Structure 1
Amino acid sequence: MIDLWRARWQEGRVGFHLSQPHPALERYWPSLAVPDRAKVLVPLCGKTLDMRWLAQAGHPVLGIEVAPEAIEQFLAEATTPVSRYQQAGFNISRQGSIELWCGDFFHLHIQQAAEVGAFYDRAALIALPEATRQRYAFHLAQLVPPGAKGLLVSLTHEGGESGPPYSVANQEVETLLSPNFRLTLLEESEPDDRGLCEKIWRLVRRGPLN
């Protein structure tokens, strides 16, 4: 799977990348009332401009990405100085209030995500094949504290398990995430000319609050 994503970035097959922040992020993030300065976890972040939007909204960002090509492209799009270091198997680049950790999301430990207070998944769940999605949902739940809020973008299409992006039905989203999150379906788009239908979810991590 790692080799697949690196090949896509190396070959420029990244049609999923948007040249502007996702409209749903701008539309719904303020309604989450995430505390000021809460760090936002962005799994499988690619070079999404959503991270810059979150940073401009006052949030430190922790992006996890397996393809160094994506990280270098993201960093090159701004003139802000970059600092680099290593930690526990990750190559880390910091640009302003954005930290990009290059490595396997499943190797990120809860101690490394200790400051995370919110999360945003635009292209992580739908980037993973069915056999890996349950592992992802469980690992995400381990990394965010009770009460943490986030947005999830899922989609369905007629291709089923052809992907990425993969088609993930609403029922599967609920089955995977409802054990550890309270879910609210905020928006469901009409299918586009490719048959893609996007869904926007509000998630809140279950569990006792401190």
Structure 2
Amino acid sequence: MNPEFWQEKWQKREIAFHQAAANPLLVSWFNQLALAPGATIFLPLCGKSLDIHWLLAQGYSVVGAELSEMAVQELFAELGLTPSISSVGNLRLYQADKLQVFVGDIFQLSKHPLGPVAAIYDRAALVALPDAMRQRYAQHLITISQRAPQLVICFEYDQAQLAGPPFSVDSLEMHKLYSKVYSLNCLEIREVPGGLKRKCQATEIGWLLTLIKSEQN
């Protein structure tokens, strides 16, 4: 999937993936990460998600990565924030108050400009990527976050009934991608009301990924 695909989605306002409220699985299960007050959360491929509004309202700091500069501009405007804008290598960095967003290819983001993060919240990133990119993406996040714990939200459905994105990422694939580094705990499985894109039955699954003990040393 090339960058032009997502840029065109935002230009045409084909952003049904942008939810009208904070994700219920985030609200229900975020405390399972057991983070300190004010901790920094990394949101890959964050768009202008209202999940960011929710996290900021809880007192956390948020660092995002997003391909579409339009989405980032709208995010800051909707939050009532005027960002400072700077260049970081091939990326642009928007920042104001407790929010920073790197604009550009997430694979151009390294751990040094990202800085320490307490956790990753992945709602619409992993499922936005085709199968051929997901292994590279998962390893990249592990590396740049220095193996931070993750709250990951996936969809499962019959991929033959609907072409992604979002793509179906099942339990077997989650373990294939992450089990060498993390213990995986399925927190909740819930039906997608009306089906995915109103076209096929699907479930939304919340996963908690915590560093396995042998990796903590």
Please tell me the TM-score bracket, short chain as reference: over 0.9
Distance 1:46 1:178 in 2: 27
Give me the whole-angstrom Cα distance separating, in 1, the residues matched to 2:180 and 2:63: 24
Name the structure where helix makes up a greater proportion of residues: 2
Whether the aligned pair in 2 keeps the contact of 1:42 and 1:63 (CA below 8 Å) is yes
TM-score for the superposition, normalised by structure 2:
0.90
Between the two proteins, the alignment pairs up a number of residues equal to: 208
**Correspondence 1:180 to 2:152:** no
Is 1:198 matched with 2:211? Answer: no
Percent pairwise identity: 32
CA distance in 2, matches of 1:46, 1:205: 27
In the alignment, which residue of structure 1 is the partner of 2:96?
Answer: 95
Contact 2:53–2:79, Cα closer than 8 Å, also in 1: no
Task: Give, as a single letter, the amino acid of the residue that structure 2 aligns with 1:43.
Answer: P
AA matched with 1:116: V
Give the aligned CA root-mean-square deviation in angstroms: 1.5
Q: In the alignment, residue 9 of structure 1 is paired with which amino acid? A: W
1:113 deviation in Å? 2.3
Inter-partner Cα distance in structure 1 for 2:25 and 2:191: 14
1:141/1:205 contact within 8 Å kept: no
Change (3 A) 1:3 1:31: same
Structure 1 unaligned spans of 5+: none
Q: Secondary structure at the match of 1:81?
A: coil
User: Higher mean Cα deviation, 71-80 or 7-16?
Assistant: 71-80
The alpha carbon displacement at 1:28 in A equals 0.7
Native 8 Å contact 1:41 1:118 kept in 2? yes
Q: Is the 8 A contact 1:19 1:49 kept in 2?
A: yes
**TM-score, structure 1 normalization:** 0.93
Residues 94-113 of structure 1 aligned to structure 2 (within 5 Å): 94-113=95-114
Between the aligned partners of 2:80 and 2:128, the Cα distance in structure 1 is 30
Q: Which amino acid aligns with 2:154?
A: S
Q: Is the 8 A contact 1:188 1:198 kept in 2?
A: yes
Deviations 1:145-186 (Å, cap 9, x if unpaired)? Answer: 35x322100001223572110111111111111112111000
Q: CA deviation at 1:191?
A: 4.9
The corresponding residue for 2:216 is 208
Deviation digits for residues 34-60 of structure 1 (CA, Å, limit 9, x no counterpart): 122221110000110111211222221
